[in-house]
Amino acid sequence: MLPRKSIIPEEFALPGLVSRIPRKPVFRDRINKARFIAKSGSCNIAHKNIREQGRFLQDVFTTLVDLKWRFTLVMFTMSFLCSWLLFAMGWWLVAFAHGDLDTNRKAGIEQCVTNVKSFSSAFLFSIEVQVTIGFGGRMITEQCPTAILVLILQNIAGLIINAIMLGCIFMKTAQSHRRAETLIFSRNAVIAVRNHRLCFMIRVGDLRKSMIIGATVRLQVVRKTTTPEGEVIPIHQIDIQTESAAYSNNMFLLAPLIICHVIDKDSPLYDLSAMELQCSDLEVIVILEGVVETTGITTQARTSYVAEEIQWGHRFVPIVTEEEGVYSVDYSKFGNTVKVPTPKCSARELDEKPFILIQTMQKSELSHQNSLRKRNSMRKNNSMRRNNSALMMPKVQFVTPECNQNIAAT
């Protein structure tokens, strides 16, 4: 049986109409690359398949300091409990060997440890010895040299446990990254023209009044590269120079500073334009190091900027003002930026064609003048409208009672 022919022509059918509709190109979002350093400063690295686990036990103190707080508190509690139980067993064995636990013993024989008649009393005596409480109900006598040896061993072991655990807790509370919580970075980085050169800029600041001595800032670009021999380097770190490092290794972080990197021929950003930057997978890592003034401990604060967090053609707003003889810092505008005229081309193209910068500046000057003219014209129009409305308003004469009496007298 032949299929029935449709009444509607094929060119006007739904499939034909859909095929003739021009489709818009579909732009897929770029797959987000994993960050090497998080915005908080933590390293985004997972260590797997470590076979030589015993190396961590060779440095027990550092391993304990690196543990999380819940594990540290468990280790702190268990170390004391285990030592008390271990030496309680020792004291019970000493009393058992001397016959102090025998209920049928003679009354004239003196005990090694007085009032130790069970494991519970031996455990209490172990706590009294190690913590040096000394309630006075239980004490050691001269009858057993073994008991004197156990007393010496427990005192030495207790001092070692106290030194390790208290030192571990002190180091955890005084870790350098705690001071780094008050070292802040701008949310975004900017690229703009400064001194007729394209520059990569970030802002850093310190919220505390105690200063960071010998503060240094290092910038690195991390990207995936391939060598001419075909070797793939997933994390290729490239150091980039800053203006502060060019003249001095240290900076005076008294107020928030703008760290500037001039994009020259030695910079890994030299060949990137505004469009190419958005499509690149680079990550700029910022490392701020220094010595804490109050504790003398070296601290380090880290952050990173991916391509989406680099604003081309922006500049940081000033936040330091002088008020009543004191320099005031407004941290509410710490990361605020404003748009400035900036060429969209790369730094290489800007060096080869200097007229691009001149044209950009001229266009920005013309647009600024046009905006000023529009504002002046709007102000003039508003003032003319006000004058015309004042002229067109009818005059109203108010008559007082005195004026009425004068009119009647005439």
Q: Are residues 233 and 335 in the same domain?
A: yes
Nearest to 283 by CA among 200, 207, 203, 397: 200
Q: Is residue 130 part of a domain?
A: yes
For residues 235 and 340, membership in a common domain is answered with yes
pLDDT at 369 over 80: no
Do residues 217 and 255 both lie within one domain? yes
Of the candidates 107, 118, 113, 277, the one whose C-alpha atom is nearest the C-alpha of residue 189 is 277
Residue closest to 186 by CA, chosen among 106, 258, 238: 258
Residue 202 and residue 311 in one domain: yes
* Domain co-membership, 100 together with 145: yes
Judged against a pLDDT cut of 90, whether residue 230 lies above it is answered with no
pLDDT (average), residues 240-268: 81
- Select from 174, 190, 216 the last residue of a domain: 174
Contacts of 299 (CB under 8 A, 6+ apart): 176, 177, 179, 180, 183, 212, 289, 290, 291, 292
- Beta-carbon neighbour count of residue 188 at 10 Å? 17
Q: What six digits make up the tokens of 216?
A: 């240094």
In this structure, are residues 309 and 187 in contact, taking their beta carbons and an 8 Å threshold? Answer: yes
> 158, 86, 91: which is closest to 122 by C-alpha?
91
264: region left, alpha or beta (phi > 0 left; psi from -120 to 50 alpha): beta
130 burial (CB, 10 Å; 0-12 / 13-18 / 19+) is buried
pLDDT grade for 212, boundaries at 50, 70 and 90: confident
pTM: 0.66
Domain that holds residue 291: 179-359
Q: How many residues does the structure list for the chain?
A: 410
Tell me which of 125, 149, 174 is where a domain ends: 174
User: Is pLDDT above 60 for 249?
Assistant: no
234 & 144 share domain: no
Question: What was the pLDDT predicted at 350?
Answer: 86
Task: Let me know if residue 388 belongs to a domain.
Answer: no
Q: Pull the structure tokens for residue 142.
A: 């001269």
205 - beta bridge partners? 184
Question: pLDDT tens across 173-207, in order?
Answer: 877 677 888 899 999 999 998 888 899 999 999 88
The answer to whether residues 272 and 218 belong to one domain is yes
Among residues 137, 152, 174, which one ends one of the domains?
Answer: 174
Residue 78 has pLDDT above 70, yes or no: yes
How many domains, the chain? 2
